[in-house]
Amino acid sequence: MSRILITSALPYINGIKHLGNLVGSQLPADLYARYVRARGHEVMFICATDEHGTPAELAAAKAGEPVEAYCARMHKEQSELAKGFRLSFDHYGRSSSERNRRLTQHFAGKLAENGYIEEVTEKQVFSKADDRFLPDRYIEGTCPNCGYERARGDQCENCTKQLDPTDLINPRSAISGSTDLEVRETKHLYLRQSLLKDKIDAWIDSQTGWPILTTSIAKKWLHDGDGLQDRGITRDLKWGVPVRRGCQPWPGMEDKVFYVWFDAPIEYIAATAEWADAHDLPDTAWHRWWRTDKGAEDVRYVQFMGKDNVPFHTLSFPATIMGSEEPWKLVDYIKSFNYLNYDGGQFSTSQGRGVFMDDALALLPADYWRWWLLSHAPENADSEFTWENFQQSVNKDLADVLGNFVSRITKFCRSKFGEALPEGGETGERAQELIEELETRTRAYEAHMEAMEIRKAATELRAIWVAGNEYLQSAAPWSVFKEDPESAAAITRLGLNLVRLYAILSEPFIPDAAATMLDAMKAEDRTWPGPIAEALTALPAGHAFETPEVLFAKIADEDREEWQMRFAGVRA
């Protein structure tokens, strides 16, 4: 048994997240966490709300709430939605926690002590209308790289290029919309990433198994143009982690906070400490997950994120850890994703476009969304959500293949043998062929899950479901029963064991349906299957079961058309 640390990119606190956010980090992280738990590994699955910086301040102002109250409310809402989608976090923290405040200040102090922070007098945009400096995300304008007209002052969400506010064409205040801006001098702290470039480059080169998307983005930032640049880690804001050097004040920085992209990744560590606090464990219990001098050298650390977060997790956060010169755990594998687009356009939190997590759960149970999103995960290229494709996938994969199989075999058994696995008979050659196919496919499914090849895993899982349907159709126990009831009993017994097997294999993708299937089969042993021949005899003759309700209802054309019209515009 191994210990596996899993972190998902932190969702911003500024509103409910859309399905593109969900499939870009939290949902695939949950899939992997559920799988490795099922294989017997010790897992720590961590996430948190990212609560500092401009998005929080702007959203709170729009809502007419103090920023602290707004963040507390939205953390609760996001936590509930995460539970609704069955995201199995061991802890869902908050970057505004006291633990993160202290750790962020600790890292800053260590970086300064080791010569990796310098004070820089720089020019920043000042809005006369707002009477304040405008940190990066308070400024919008046209991206000089791709021409996107709503680029932010820190990064263009269209092409992912990292920007400075002064790079933008036709900049304007995101607060007031004013273009009456001027550049003034202000002093900030910079993380001297350039001094760590060679070390980071060598570390990335050593990660031979990383996805191409991850390494290509990291290498582009390291080597294109002027290479890895020093980066400001403070901002002229009130809401955030106050700038301190460990426990000591930082002269000249009294009215500043740390940049959200400096403190947010540190919350991965802080949230693990919060987990220990929540379980009344010793203060250092979390060290075994994060300190390589306390046992974390044996931990496999996996991160999940969208491609826009890759530069900060391959460069800036590692620079923070390396520059501290302390024995903190570095990530072993970064699973990154492209974008999920929406029905001919883009999902957008800022523009309220697309299906959001609360809307989705109000329409259909979580498993419907989980299956479609994971089976269409944007791993190697951007993918697109369309209502037609969603309807087709739910109706064919979930209702016609898996749901239909469970319904047919349980109802047939109940009608002919009662609600207990029937005795007698031999299954024959067809069953042996099925066992051999499922053995091959299950091991392939496991290999794809281990490699975090999500779409391939979904394809293999569906093929496993199809194999059972084809066997049942070919073996036709309803026809055999007329001439040979014992053979029909053996086929039926195998089919009911398939329900248990399918539930266990499917649980990472569709946990609610899996639980319904296992409960219906009254399966006490829910461990991951070894040899398939053994798994298909786990429920013996005489074992009682229940006939479950319809697992998956089909989506009607009129419902799909109504939803397509309802979500065609901008979310209120």
Non-local CB neighbours of 281 within 8 Å, separated by 6+ positions: none
Alpha-carbon separation of residue 328 from 42, 90, 94, 105, 295 (angstroms): 19, 20, 21, 16, 11
* 506 within 8 A of 374, measured Cβ to Cβ: no
**What residues are designated binding site?**
143, 146, 156, 159, 349
Query: In terms of Cα–Cα distance, which of 559, 566, 19, 8 is closest to 341?
Result: 19
Q: Which two tokens stand for residue 486?
A: 């014992």
The answer for residues whose C-beta is within 8 angstroms of residue 180's C-beta and 6 or more apart is 127, 128, 129
Amino acid at 48: A
Angle separating helix axes 260-278 and 98-113, nearest 10 degrees: 130
What lies within 8 Å, CB to CB, of 531 at 6+ separation is: 439
> What is the number of helices (H) and of strands (E) in the chain?
22, 19
What single DSSP character describes residue 364?
Answer: S
Q: What is the C-alpha separation between 208 and 212, in angstroms, rounded? A: 10
CA distance 151 to 163: 9
- Residue stretches of the annotated binding site for ATP: 349
The one-character DSSP state at 303 is E
Show the tokens assigned to 559.
């419902």
Q: Starting at the earlier edge strand, list the strands of the sheet with 169-173.
A: 151-152, 139-142, 169-173
Residues in the annotated binding site for Zn(2+): 143, 146, 156, 159
Helices (H), 159-295: 197-206, 212-223, 260-278, 287-290
Q: Pick the closest to residue 232 from 256, 255, 254 (CA basis).
A: 256
